[in-house]
Amino acid sequence: MPLLALNNLNVRYGQIVGTSDLSLSLEAGEILALVGSNGAGKSSTLKAILGMAPYRSGKILWQGKDLKGRKPSEIVREGIGFSPEGRRVFASLTVLENLNIGAYSRDANEAAERIEQIYTYFPRLRERSGQRASSLSGGEQQMLAIGRALMSRPKLFLLDEPSLGLAPIVVERIGDILKEIQAREALAVILAEQNANWALALADRAVILELGQKTAEGPSADLLRDPKVQSAYLGI
Amino acid sequence: MTDTTSETVRVGELGPTGAFERKAQDAGNHRVRNLLILAFVAFAALWPLVHENTFLLTMGTLVALSVIGATSLHLIIRTGHISFAHAGFMGVGAYVCVLLVMKLQLPFAVSLAGGAAAAAALALLIGPVVLRLTGKYFVLVTFLLGEIIRMVFVEWTSMTGGSNGIFGIPAPYPALAEPHAFYYFALAAALLCVGFCARILTSEVGRAMDSVRESERVAQCSGIPALQLKVTIFVIACALAGVHGALLAHFLHYVDPSSFGMVDSLNLVVMNVIGGMNHLIGPIIGSVFLTILPELLRGYVELQRVIFGIILIVVMAALPGGILELTARVRRLLASRRS
C-alpha cells in the first residue's frame, strides 16, 4: 500500500479548476516534486491533502484511509506536516514559540526533545531562539516555517514553494538540509516548486502539472533529459 | 562534564553574544512589572481606608466589577475577534442569577454558578456559528446578537419585569450588605478573574491564541484546532461576563435591560482599545479610566459626552497601542537617555 494515493482528484473553487482528475501516489521516504507554473494546481493539491481545499470528486487515501471530511488539525495529527507558501511564520511570536505551536497539545518533554533536533538541523534558529520571528531574514523565516511543520514528527511533509523570493545560495542550503532530514527520518516529501531545476535535482520522482492536469510523470533524472520538459521548464 | 555544561548553556534558549544581556534586561523589566502590579493591588486594597467617602468606595467597586467584564472580553479579542455582544452575556448571567435567588430561593453561590453556566451555554450554542465569521462580519453579527438578547430582556415581562427591571435584589450574603465588605468581595473576584486570564494567556493556549489571531489558516495547518480553541475561549469569556453581570445586579440591588445594551458592549470594547489590546493590563487600565472619567465630567452635564468623545479620540490618535503604549514609550526614552 502506498503511503499516500490521490485518485482522480478534482479540486474546484466554484467554477475555477484547481486540479482535474489528478492521480498520483507516494511511497514512504520518497521525495516527489510537483512542478508547474502559476495556477498549475500545485498548491491546490497540497491544500486538498491537508483538508483545506474543497474537492468535488476523487479520493485521497492516507495509508489506505480516506481523508475526506477530516479537519486540518486532525490530518496534521495523522502524520502530515505542511509548510505553506510564502514562508508564513507567526511574526509576533519568538522562534521558540513558533516551533512550540507546531507541537501544540503534545507532550512537553517530547516537544523539547524535538526542538533540540530541529535546532541541530537549523543551527541559525537556535541562535535566534528568543527573537521575534518578524526580525528574521527571509531564509531564516523559511527555515522556521519548515522547522515548525516538522515539530509534529510527520511521515509526510508537504512543502509549498520554499524557494520563493530567496537568494540562490539560501535555496541551495535549504535543499541540503531537506536532503539531510529526509535521509535521517525516512521522511516522504511532496515539494511543490516553480524552480524546476532545483526541484528535479532534489526529488526522486516528479509530476509535471499544467492547468490542473498531469502532463508528465517519472523519475527526476528522466524528466531532466526530456526535451519537452527541458524547453518548457528548465530553460534549456 | 564540561561538555554537558556547555550544552545546557546552549540549550538555554539564547545564543552566545548579547543574549545574556537581553535576558538580564528582561528579568529587570519583569521585576519592575511585578512591583507595579504589587503597588496597584496594594493601592486597591488600601483604597477604602484612605478616605471616608462612600461615593469613592462605590466607584472602586464598579471599577473592580468592570475589570471582570473587560478582561474577559480581552480573551476573545486576543483570538482576533471583537465581540459586541459581551454586555448581552453579562445580562444573561445577571438575570439568571437574580431569578434563581429570588424565585427559587437558591443560595447565592449556586445562583452565581447558574448565571455563569447559562451565559456559557448560550455562548456554546452560538459560538461555533459566529466564530466562523471574521472582521466586520463578526462585529456586525455580534452587535445584532447583543440587541436580540436585550430585546428578550425587554419583552419577556413575566420573567424579567420588562423595561422596569427587577427591584429589591438582596445582597449576596448579609455580611456583604456593608459597602466595604462588598468592595473587597468585588476586588477579590476581579483579582481571581485577572489571575485566571493571565494563566490562560501565558500558557501554551495563549501562544496558540496569538497564532490564530495572526493567521487562522496557518495555525490550522500547523495542527491547531482553531475553531475549537476559539469556541472554548468564547465560552469561558462569556461565563466570566455572566459573573460580572450577576455581581453588578446584586451590588446595585436592581437590574434592568438598559445595563446590557449596545452602549455597554461598546464600553467594554473601548476599555480594551483605550487601555491597550495587546496585553492583559490594557483592559484593567481601560476599566479604571472609563469608569472614573464620566464621573469626573459630571459637573459639565451638557458637555459630558462631547468631552468624553474628544478625550477618546485624542488617546486613540496619539497612542494606537492604548494607554499601555505610554509605558513602552517612557521605557524607550529612558533607554535612549542611558545610552
**CA of B210 vs chain A CAs: smallest distance (Å):** 8
Q: Give a yes or no: residue B174 inside a domain.
A: yes
Contact A116 B220 (CB under 8 A): no
State the pLDDT at residue A125. Answer: 92
B207 contacts in chain A (CB < 8 Å): 93, 97, 100-101
Q: Is the pLDDT of residue A105 over 80?
A: no
Domain ranges for chain A? 4-234
Q: Give a yes or no: residue B311 inside a domain.
A: no
Computed over every residue of chain A, the mean pLDDT equals 89
Q: Is A142 on the interface with B (CB under 8 A)?
A: no
State the pLDDT at residue B28. Answer: 63
Model pLDDT for residues A164-199, shown as the tens digit of each residue: 888 888 999 889 999 999 889 889 999 999 888 889
Q: Give a yes or no: residue B333 inside a domain.
A: no
The whole-angstrom separation of Cα A176 and Cα A21 is 33
State the pLDDT at residue B61. Answer: 92
Q: Is A113 on the interface with B (CB under 8 A)?
A: no
When mean pLDDT is compared across B9-13, B113-117, B163-167, B301-305, the lowest value belongs to B9-13
Give this prediction's pTM: 0.86
Closest CA to B245 of B180, B184, B166, B174: B166
Quickly tell me which residue has 514609550 as its cell: B329
Question: Superfamily for A4-234?
Answer: P-loop containing nucleotide triphosphate hydrolases (3.40.50.300)
Using DSSP's 3-state secondary structure scheme, residue B132 falls into coil
- Split into its structural domains, chain B has a count of 1
Quickly tell me which residue has 530541529 as its cell: A118
Q: Is the pLDDT of residue B69 over 80?
A: yes
Under the banding of pLDDT at 50, 70 and 90, the label for residue B15 is very low
> Nine-digit cell at A84?
505553506
Which of B14, B210, B228 is facing A129, going by the closest CB pair?
B14
Contact B22 A104 (CB under 8 A): no
SS3 for chain A, per residue? Answer: CCCEEEEEEEEEECCEEEEEEEEEEECCCCEEEEECCCCCCHHHHHHHHCCCCCEEEEEEEECCEECCCCCHHHHHHCCEEEECCCCCCCCCCEHHHHHHHCCCCCCHHHHHHHHHHHHHHCHHHHHCCCCEHHHCCHHHHHHHHHHHHHCCCCCEEEEECCCCCCCHHHHHHHHHHHHHHHHHHCCEEEEEECCHHHHHHHCCEEEEEECCEEEEEEEHHHHHHCHHHHHHHHCC
Q: Give a yes or no: residue B334 inside a domain.
A: no
The 8-class DSSP code of residue B258 comes to G
Under the banding of pLDDT at 50, 70 and 90, the label for residue B54 is confident
Quickly tell me which residue has 475526506 as its cell: A68
Distance, C-alpha A91 to centroid of its chain: 21
State the pLDDT at residue A220. Answer: 84
Computed over every residue of chain B, the mean pLDDT equals 86
- Residue B92: burial class (beta carbons within 10 Å; 0-12, 13-18, 19+): buried
Closest CA to A68 of A78, A79, A58, A76: A58
Using DSSP's 3-state secondary structure scheme, residue B166 falls into strand
Under the banding of pLDDT at 50, 70 and 90, the label for residue B184 is very high
The whole-angstrom separation of Cα B317 and Cα B320 is 6
Under the banding of pLDDT at 50, 70 and 90, the label for residue B47 is confident
Q: Is the pLDDT of residue B52 over 50?
A: yes
Q: Is B147 on the interface with A (CB under 8 A)?
A: no
Q: Is the pLDDT of residue A200 over 60?
A: yes
Model pLDDT for residues B263-275, shown as the tens digit of each residue: 899 889 988 988 8
Distance, C-alpha A182 to centroid of its chain: 12
State the pLDDT at residue A17. Answer: 85
Model pLDDT for residues B84-117, shown as the tens digit of each residue: 999 999 999 999 999 999 989 899 999 999 999 9
> Nine-digit cell at A128?
535566534
Q: Is A107 on the interface with B (CB under 8 A)?
A: no
State the pLDDT at residue B13. Answer: 36
The 8-class DSSP code of residue B170 comes to P
Q: What is the mean pLDDT of residues B170-189?
A: 89
Q: Is the pLDDT of residue B20 over 90?
A: no
Which structural domain range is residue B164 located in?
63-260
Tally Cβ neighbours within 10 Å of residue A37.
Answer: 13
Q: Is B97 on the interface with A (CB under 8 A)?
A: no
